[in-house]
Amino acid sequence: MTPARRLKNILGASAGNFVEWFDWFAYASFALYFSRAFFPAGDQTAQLLNTAFVFAGGFIARPIGALLFGMYADRAGRRAALTLSVGMMCGGALLIALTPTGLGVLSPLLLVAARLLQGLAVGGEYGASATYVSEMASTRHRGFWSGFLYVTLVGGQLAAMSLQVLLQRLLGEDALYAWGWRIPFVVGAALAVVVFFIRRGIEETGVFTHEAGAPAARGRPLALLSDYPRETAIVLGLTAGGAIGFYTYAVYMQKLLVNSAGFAKPVAAQVMTWVLATLLFLPPLVGALADVVGRKRTMVAAFGASALLAVPVLGALRTASDPLTVYLLCLLPLFCLCGYYALSAIIKAELYPTHVRALGVSLSYAVALAIFGGNAETVALAMKRAGMEAGYDWVVTGVFGIALLAALCLPPDQARQRLAGG
């Protein structure tokens, strides 16, 4: 395959990842505004806690989506799964955009239904896209190309945050509370339609076409426990650390700055936009470095540093008053975690053979993310309401410790040859 064709296919797969994460994080970013519309009773913390429960509900659907899409990707192909997932995400975003408020319990139920649909789609997206990029990338630069998956993930969140900043300036707070929060979901649905047709034009990977094995052996869920228990445990541990880190420092952080540090909503949004804009460039660079110094070594350093930084950084953020200080405090742990973000896709894909690769990456990732990512914001808000906000810092540290143990259990870098051999 020529470099131009390879690049076209990788960018096509990554474009869908961008749209799916834009839709996913639009909910998290604009929850500050639509939480009052769907859950009018209670104070701001109670309203945000209710929307956080719905956000966590989307994560409950992700393992189911990962199971279904992982099996589908290992049997029908990576391209087919990628196309279907972005179509479902479009439907979920459109449902949120059109859901009326003021219908009593029906409005929150429709919101939950939309989040469950999005959870199914995103649950299948990561495993299929990670597997596709890993199999499509050239052997010598897999770390570099793997980093682009988190570029699209961060890019999707950055686009959602940037749109929020723009709408805050154009519409004002009253309009955002009333109807402006619907705009990002309309935008996300429209983008998904475009990417649906882009993904229909990408090629299937040669590894799947030639080495997927007999149809009966493809995508068997029980094989993850019976044949690959060590690999599955490693993916669970690594994802736990990466999930709680990202959803603490990049997702929950906007609410922490407003609800604990006392920042105005527009200021908090602007600071986090700059954090994400900087983070956007880091994963491919760290991935390229890992191609030279070693993936396991990079992953161990990432979680070791993250465990040491969690308590002092989160404590300082709750008392920070200067936007520049917040920017630097958020960026420091996220930079350390780029050792995971850059290599997440490739390391997980390399642990499994071709016939269960998409399922192994999807399901293990989604289960850990549902527990440690989807509940991060809920746990943080609940501990704040109970007067134990600082205790959350130690929860984050403990999960980073689990991820560090998983990184130490990774096989030597030479085991990546399994990817080429199926």
CB 348 within 8 A of CB 110: no
CB 152 within 8 A of CB 15: yes
Q: Does the residue 208 lie in any domain?
A: no
pLDDT value at 259 more than 90: no
Q: Does the residue 377 lie in any domain?
A: yes
Task: Enumerate long-range contacts of 216-219, CB under 8 Å, 24 or more apart.
Answer: 217/355, 218/71, 218/74, 218/75, 218/355, 218/356, 219/70, 219/71, 219/72, 219/73, 219/74, 219/75, 219/355, 219/356, 219/358, 219/359
- pLDDT, greater one: 235 or 140: 235
- What tens digit of pLDDT does each residue of 342-370 get? 888 888 888 888 778 888 888 888 888 88
For residues 299 and 68, what is the distance between their CA atoms, to the nearest angstrom? Answer: 29
For residue 148, the domain's CATH number is 1.20.1250.20
pLDDT recorded at residue 169: 87
pLDDT value at 296 more than 50: yes
pLDDT value at 47 more than 70: no
pLDDT recorded at residue 394: 95
Q: Could you list the residue range(s) of the whole structural domain that residue 252 is in?
A: 3-203+216-413
Q: Does the residue 420 lie in any domain?
A: no
pLDDT recorded at residue 421: 43
Q: Does the residue 421 lie in any domain?
A: no
Average pLDDT over residues 214-227: 67
Q: Does the residue 399 lie in any domain?
A: yes
pLDDT value at 213 more than 60: no
Q: Does the residue 422 lie in any domain?
A: no
- pLDDT, greater one: 40 or 393: 393
pLDDT value at 332 more than 90: yes
Share above pLDDT 90 across residues of the chain, in percent, rounded to a whole number: 19
pLDDT value at 214 more than 60: no
Name the band, by pLDDT with cuts 50, 70 and 90, for residue 42.
Answer: low
pLDDT recorded at residue 55: 65
Q: Does the residue 116 lie in any domain?
A: yes
Token output for 343: 């290599």
- pLDDT, greater one: 183 or 208: 183
Based on the structure, what is the number of domains in the chain? Answer: 1
Mean pLDDT, the chain, integer: 82
Nearest in space to 65 (alpha carbons), one of 403, 316, 374, 331? 374
CB atoms under 10 Å from CB of 2, counted, come to 7
Q: Does the residue 394 lie in any domain?
A: yes
pLDDT value at 420 more than 80: no
- pLDDT, greater one: 192 or 226: 192
